[in-house]
Structure 1
């Protein structure tokens, strides 16, 4: 079991892809990690606490935050990585689509972030990171994305509001806006098409995202920033 002095990162959507990469990245940085997702499995590493649950349910947020405090005594960083992306024409979205996307992307952010901020205020500081999409800033006719823009755009605005509200109380807030990242959710037969959607003509790697988040973790003078890790998508085509 870790000593109370060890810094602790709480990562949502942590079972695979970017989330799993972030768990590894923070462990290499020397942090203990609380990792949560619906399908996450128990960890062999004693400094990684896996907590199953749907982050869209506020009760999950309560359990995760309580487990972090019980096991490690603190929360220094929260990475709101969990997200759902449904791409279809706006008029074809169903109520089920809306409920699923807003549930994870917005409700999943809200309660866990409140609880993390409360703990960070008790400690005297902390860091919050949202994972969003560059489609918020640079819509593409190739990728219909109104629900993503509605929810992740809200997170980007909230990122700046949190940064300003808590700037004098030791809590920083930043976001990383992504292009398409090569994860198991993108079958290999679509990679060439997805590569072409980026000016650099390739998808991003999970490590690109991890590097960006860890840069922000160590950049103590950076808050309220939306860092684009998108192969140039937000700059233009």
Structure 2
């Protein structure tokens, strides 16, 4: 991945920031994005203001943001090799309490953001006849939990899982690989935002009896970015969350 260009959305904190750190350390060229410019600038500076990275704030639910990210990548680094659609929002809410505004919010950021940014990047990947798109889903698409009702964000994430497979089918002939990473419970600021004070209390959801760390998602993203023969897959990075239960 040295000198390859990687666009990462949602890169100001948590998993996205850790992915950016991982690729920057391996001499990739990184374009960082987040909707909050102040947080994004702080993240960039916290990573040492690296010369092989730039940042651009913008709302990915708007088509223009994806285009701006691609334009910046081409201007600064001359290619668009990898797109990591990490930006997303997630919070529980009982099904019967969900309103139309909730659906709009999750579908706009999670699904439209992934959709539009991929639309912006794929034409460049077609020109190169090479590329990798990595979407971030969730194990909860395949492993529902009664005590964590989240139909609004989950339906948007489920759509991303489906989009992954269809894009892999449409653009495999162009040597564009499209995959999803489905994380389990990962230590990140997201836990606090949804009211979980002690993320480690959820360790029992995983057969390994611990929650995941953000760098473990970064490792998976790097593997998929460098793999030439994996496409259309959903890779669970979840400590056994989806395959069994400890009793």
Q: TM-score, normalised by structure 2?
A: 0.89
2:130 alignment counterpart:
125
1:55 alignment counterpart:
60
Change (3 A) 1:192 1:34: closer
1:105 alignment counterpart:
110
For residues 154 and 185 of structure 1, the distance between their equivalents in structure 2, rounded to whole angstroms, comes to 21
Confirm whether residue 18 of structure 1 aligns to residue 26 of structure 2.
no
Q: Which has the higher helix share?
A: 2
- Equivalent pair of 1:136/1:148 in contact (CA under 8 Å): no
Deviation at 1:148, TM superposition (A): 2.7
Deviation at 1:97, TM superposition (A): 1.7
For residues 217 and 3 of structure 2, the distance between their equivalents in structure 1, rounded to whole angstroms, comes to 24
SS at match of 2:17: helix
Corresponding residue pairs, total: 233
2:4 alignment counterpart:
7
Q: Give the gaps of 5 or more residues in structure 1.
A: none
Q: Deviations over 1:43-85 (max 9, x none)?
A: 4212111001111111212222211111111100000001111
Q: Give the gaps of 5 or more residues in structure 2.
A: none
- Equivalent pair of 1:138/1:234 in contact (CA under 8 Å): yes
Confirm whether residue 217 of structure 1 aligns to residue 222 of structure 2.
no
For residues 53 and 144 of structure 1, the distance between their equivalents in structure 2, rounded to whole angstroms, comes to 29
Q: TM-score, normalised by structure 1?
A: 0.93
Q: Name the Cα RMSD after superposition.
A: 1.6
SS at match of 1:127: strand
For residues 8 and 109 of structure 1, the distance between their equivalents in structure 2, rounded to whole angstroms, comes to 18
For residues 61 and 14 of structure 1, the distance between their equivalents in structure 2, rounded to whole angstroms, comes to 14
